[in-house]
A and B are shown apart, each in its own frame.
Chain A
């Protein structure tokens, strides 16, 4: 019954640290997902653009980010952001000390950019599935571009994109484990620290696994009800 002691709350155990780390994981995941969705709006617009250059930018983004290991993306962004900020500070203000960006921000941005590449593909796919005829029907009764977008496209894109975005959310949640390399104390990092200090790695990695499972299961439940809501009208009404 050693593990109960190890995982207890308070000074003696690591339970409260693990819960705090879980909160960090949740916060990073939500921030990253939001950043990713924001990025994917531009990603989708650029990938569906008629302009060849703009399309190339969008394609490069999704190809590169999805084509290299996520850990590498995080390293590149982590060091890339810091270097970029430092060289900007240096050239603009002559400041040449080491600057470390808030690690939470870097983590959310890095995972957000990864998540955005996948969201872009999901949303782009959903846009292409909306039957063109429904857009034409909207135009034919006098809807302007804004109304077509907001009244006809968006509700249906949401419907088609939700299952895919649910997948992206789970990926995003799990990708936050990789940002332990930046030093942000989320579930994975906390489990790592705790197992190093207590020589009970299995206990802590097992509890990390359970924490991730709780988060993913709870969110897939929430997503199911969101999908049911968005799919109204698609399934035949029960007789």
Chain B
């Protein structure tokens, strides 16, 4: 089995605040890794360090066994050695954000075909055909010509998932994809995510949806204070947590 993603000794601080204090993690192809933890534990930062939306202070990231090469800029701060490599690898790592972040000046379809046409240089007709297929897959093809502002949050997030899928990524990164949604809209997004997991896609999901993690995750990682406090198969982590902190966290997140 090939390693889809490998992270080694990753650290990140914002000023004097150490957010990630040395995390290593491996995802095999087809893994669905759910990252859980209380707010401020570094979950989102960890995810954003993988596709370099945040530049890690130290540590290495491999995507499909290709190391993202880093160097230091004049000020001595770490930065990517080759931005072209970063742009290329990012299409292998499409991300779905908490706030959807659809481009508001483009229609739903334009959002989905933007990167295939302008980054991956796929022919327009091919991109449009594929775009409709993807919108159908997330159940929103009849809104293709509308602008994001006329869609509900759940619909926008499904478009964002289609946009991420459009670049044909090997790994999908989800950054709290349901946290901005009204409760009644969470289900439609989780359904799409579950179907993606069933297809065997590799997914790294930062989430507060314990039910989703329990059902779908092949591995659950519990972060606390910038470190992995506990990790393992979903049933082990949820049914027989070892660390006191995880027990407490689960107790307050699973009730009700």
Interface residues of A (CB under 8 A from B): 131, 133-134, 136-145, 147, 151-152, 155-156, 159, 232-237
Contacts of B103 in A (CB 8 A): 134, 137-138, 152
Q: Which of B87, B97, B99, B173 makes the CB contact (< 8 A) with A142? A: B87
What is the bound-complex CA distance between A17 and B102, given in angstroms?
54
Per the CB 8 Å criterion, the residue count for chain B at the interface is 36
Task: Judge whether A147 and B118 touch: CB under 8 Å.
Answer: yes
Of the candidates A138, A140, A152, A235, the one having the most CB atoms from chain B within 10 angstroms of its own CB is A140
A-B contact pairs, 20 of them (CB 8 A): A131-B101, A133-B99, A133-B101, A136-B97, A137-B95, A137-B160, A139-B53, A140-B173, A141-B166, A141-B167, A144-B84, A145-B83, A152-B103, A156-B104, A159-B105, A233-B104, A233-B148, A233-B149, A237-B146, A237-B150
Contacts of B150 in A (CB 8 A): 236-237
- Would you list the 8 A-B pairs with minimal beta carbon distance, nearest first? A233-B147, A142-B91, A133-B101, A137-B101, A141-B115, A140-B95, A142-B119, A142-B90
* Chain B 135-163 interface 0/1 with A at a Cβ cutoff of 8 Å (1 = within): 00000000000111110000000001001
Q: Which of B87, B97, B146, B147 makes the CB contact (< 8 A) with A133? A: B97
Q: Does B107 make an interface contact (CB < 8 A)? A: yes
**74-133 of chain B: CB within 8 A of chain A:** 83-84, 87-88, 90-91, 93-95, 97, 99, 101-107, 114-115, 118-120
Contacts of B213 in A (CB 8 A): none
Contacts of B114 in A (CB 8 A): 141, 151
| B196 to A: closest C-beta gap in Å | 17
What is the bound-complex CA distance between A133 and B53, given in angstroms?
10
Assuming the contacts A147-B119, A151-B114, A156-B105, asked whether A140 and B99 have C-beta atoms less than 8 A apart, the reply is no
Task: Judge whether B149 and A235 touch: CB under 8 Å.
Answer: yes
What is the bound-complex CA distance between A137 and B96, given in angstroms?
8
**41-81 of chain B: CB within 8 A of chain A:** 51, 53
Q: Does B34 make an interface contact (CB < 8 A)? A: no
**152-185 of chain B: CB within 8 A of chain A:** 160, 163-164, 166-167, 173
Contacts of A156 in B (CB 8 A): 104-105
* Minimal Cβ-Cβ distance residue in B for A235: B149
What is the bound-complex CA distance between A232 and B110, given in angstroms?
13
Number of CB contacts from chain A to chain B under 8 A? 87
| B170 to A: closest C-beta gap in Å | 13
Assuming the contacts A151-B114, A233-B107, asked whether A141 and B101 have C-beta atoms less than 8 A apart, the reply is no
Assuming the contacts A141-B167, A142-B115, asked whether A237 and B90 have C-beta atoms less than 8 A apart, the reply is no
| B23 to A: closest C-beta gap in Å | 20
| A166 to B: closest C-beta gap in Å | 19
Assuming the contacts A233-B148, A236-B150, asked whether A142 and B105 have C-beta atoms less than 8 A apart, the reply is no
Task: Judge whether A141 and B106 touch: CB under 8 Å.
Answer: no
What is the bound-complex CA distance between A155 and B105, given in angstroms?
7
What is the bound-complex CA distance between A234 and B105, given in angstroms?
7
| A66 to B: closest C-beta gap in Å | 30
Task: Judge whether A136 and B94 touch: CB under 8 Å.
Answer: no
Contacts of B115 in A (CB 8 A): 141-143
Assuming the contacts A139-B90, A142-B90, A142-B91, asked whether A134 and B149 have C-beta atoms less than 8 A apart, the reply is no
* Minimal Cβ-Cβ distance residue in A for B51: A140
| B10 to A: closest C-beta gap in Å | 18
Task: Judge whether B147 and A237 touch: CB under 8 Å.
Answer: yes
Contacts of A141 in B (CB 8 A): 90-91, 94, 114-115, 119, 163-164, 166-167
Task: Judge whether B118 and A151 touch: CB under 8 Å.
Answer: yes
Contacts of A151 in B (CB 8 A): 114, 118
What is the bound-complex CA distance between A133 and B102, given in angstroms?
9
What is the bound-complex CA distance between A155 and B120, given in angstroms?
21
What is the bound-complex CA distance between A153 and B61, given in angstroms?
29
